Amino acid sequence: MRECPKILLIDVGKEVATTLRTQGHNVSSGSFGAIYEIEKAGGLVPIEFDGQLPQHTEQDIVVVDLNGWNMGGRYEPKIAEGLRQIWMSCELGEVDSRPLAALSVRDDFDRILDDGGIFVIFANIRRNISYMHAISRRGRLDGESILSSDWGFLSALEIVKTDRNHGKEIKIVEGEEAAPFRGYMQGGEFFCTLSLERIQIAGCEIAENDWLPIATNRYGDCVAAIVKPSEKQGRHGWIFILPQVLDKEAVISDLLSNYLPKICPRLFPNLLESRWVHDPKYEVSSILKVQAEINAVKVAAEKEVARLSSELEQLRVEHADWYALLSGTGDDLVQAVIRTLRRFGFTEVVDVDAEAPQRSQLREDIRIHDTSPILVVDVKGIMGHPEDAEAQQADKHTLMRMRDLKRTDLKALTIINSQRCIPPHERDLAAYRRDLIDNARQMGSGLMTTWDLCLIWRNMDACGWTSEEVKPIFYQNGRISVLPAHYKPLGSVDRVWRIAIRVVLTGAVSIGDTVAITSGKGEYREISVHSIRVDEEDKQRAEPNSNCSIGIEDSATIKKIKKGHLVYHVVRAASRGG
């Protein structure tokens, strides 16, 4: 009895074979051959195939990558007058003998499959090629035609139809047969869909109940399938047709180590022999006790994960406005902004659509009446950067409202979700052109993005900003910064140590103060000042321009601080009053 199965990798990278050998597998590498370039012409040229399939008749498992072929350079045809050769058309400008190599091993591979062997195929669209097996006599060919394809290495595959279809959205079919393949498909792509031809070809039968789709594209078309053994057809082996997965090395390794030994233990006697001794019927009682404890922990963990997952989904529902601010548009975005403004502490937020649902002319989306001036707010979600009309529409609506309300203390505010289909950290955070920002500053208008609202939301949660500290932000002119008024510039980080930072001070700081640190992208961390050193001496206070080090006890916080980060003195109302 062999200790492990013989495995042949065809057109799979040699580095995969090397890795599998280090894992103890008995692996050989082969190829159906390369594709060669040739000058385009209308006639036929003789070809030679260079496929190498070592000991292919004695393999137990064959893995074929139909997308793994290489270009072999320029082909120079050699005509042997009076001898039979294989000829093919060169009108496509290439010579491809791979289907011939596949056809040449079909009988041997059929025998392996019938005997219980396993074939794993990484699929590509079928490539059919017509050849001639002929003798050249004085420029004329005498012989017969041969039709083959790169799928021709197994008779059963002749009725597997491939339709050209490319995509990356792969869905695993529900069911225990497909479940083990779930982890394989992530990041993969398919180049064809799979189905069975309705016509039956002698020796190529696959019954419907032997054809098991395990993955589909978004439209339900099969992109991965299993062909199960069939006693009726005398086929005792398995065929696995998979898409082009991202990490073939990991997939093949997992199949050989975990999945295939379970469905075909006969090919893995070494694994079978080593596993039966741990069967519960023969295991030591103390080990069974520990295994039971492990299973109990797993069950408890699964229940806790399920509970937390449910809680997570509920939180996402409750925070739907956050996700709308990130990527929303239209009325969904407007309503999310309205609720977010109320979250920030604004109490007199007017939904203009709700106020006048049948309005005949375009108006602003929102008004904020909490204080003077009244904010006239336009909200938009767009794919790119705002055009002039989009950035200045709030100004026009403000002038119209001045006439309607007969008062002049109104201020325009534009909030745009620009480049909404890409993550905020990949967006142009300025969002608006310089001339639009300058114009807004001159007009006394404000320009914001919905990401600014997200930053304010996050800083309220992280730093405890109050509504009274947040609301003044919205009344700035030009491109509005999320820097609140109670943050006063203190300097910048010059150096970071394991438990302290050195700050180039532009203001004074004392023990007991709170400072805020930011990379300059709108997210802040507040830190209490517990210790100060100036010129290597402990101090209660550091003056401007002094060589000041501030101790930080939280190691998680200090890991996120970098040289050049800005430092602010947090001066809240209570501090100012004291």
Span 6-278 CATH architecture: 3-Layer(aba) Sandwich (3.40)
Output the pLDDT for position 125.
95
Helix (H) / strand (E) containing 458:
helix 450-463
Residues 6+ apart with CB under 8 A from 406: none
522, 486 contact by CB (below 8 A): no
Output the pLDDT for position 578.
38
Q: Is 265 exposed, middle or buried (0-12, 13-18, 19+ CB in 10 A)?
A: middle
211, 225 contact by CB (below 8 A): yes
- What is the residue-level pLDDT of the chain in tens, covering all 578 positions? 346 799 999 999 889 999 999 988 999 999 999 888 888 887 888 888 788 899 999 999 999 999 977 777 788 888 877 788 898 888 888 889 999 999 999 999 999 999 999 999 999 999 999 999 989 887 788 889 899 999 999 999 999 999 999 999 999 998 888 888 888 888 899 999 999 986 666 566 788 889 999 999 999 999 999 999 988 888 999 999 999 999 999 999 999 988 998 888 888 877 655 566 777 888 899 999 999 999 999 999 999 999 999 999 999 999 999 999 999 999 999 999 999 999 999 999 999 988 776 555 668 889 999 999 999 999 999 999 999 999 999 999 999 999 988 999 999 999 999 999 899 989 998 999 999 999 999 999 999 999 999 999 999 999 999 999 999 999 999 999 999 999 999 999 999 998 899 998 999 999 999 999 998 788 999 999 999 999 888 999 999 988 889 988 777 888 888 899 999 999 987 544 43
Output the pLDDT for position 577.
40
Backbone angles phi, psi at 429, to 5 degrees: -70, -20
Output the pLDDT for position 5.
92
Output the pLDDT for position 3.
60
One-letter identity of residue 7: I
Q: What is the pTM of this model?
A: 0.58
26, 7 contact by CB (below 8 A): yes
Q: State the span(s) of the chain assigned CATH 3.40.50.
A: 6-278
Output the pLDDT for position 101.
93
Q: Which CATH superfamily is domain 487-577 in?
A: Translation factors (2.40.30.10)
Output the pLDDT for position 377.
95
Q: Which of 235, 241, 256 is nearest to 116 (CA)?
A: 235
Domain spanning 321-479, CATH class: alpha beta
Q: How far apart are CA 558 and CA 497, in angstroms?
A: 8
Backbone angles phi, psi at 337, to 5 degrees: -65, -40
Q: How far apart are CA 399 and CA 439, in angstroms?
A: 16
Helix (H) / strand (E) containing 48:
none
Q: How far apart are CA 216 and CA 220, in angstroms?
A: 5
Output the pLDDT for position 274.
59
One-letter identity of residue 354: A
Q: How far apart are CA 485 and CA 489, in angstroms?
A: 10
Q: State the span(s) of the chain assigned CATH 3.40.91.30.
A: 321-479
Q: Is 174 exposed, middle or buried (0-12, 13-18, 19+ CB in 10 A)?
A: exposed
Residue with tokens 């299973």, as numbered in its chain = 295
Q: How far apart are CA 452 and CA 459, in angstroms?
A: 11
Output the pLDDT for position 2.
47
Output the pLDDT for position 575.
45
Output the pLDDT for position 201.
60
Q: How far apart are CA 533 and CA 542, in angstroms?
A: 8
Output the pLDDT for position 77.
83
Q: State the span(s) of the chain assigned CATH 2.40.30.10.
A: 487-577
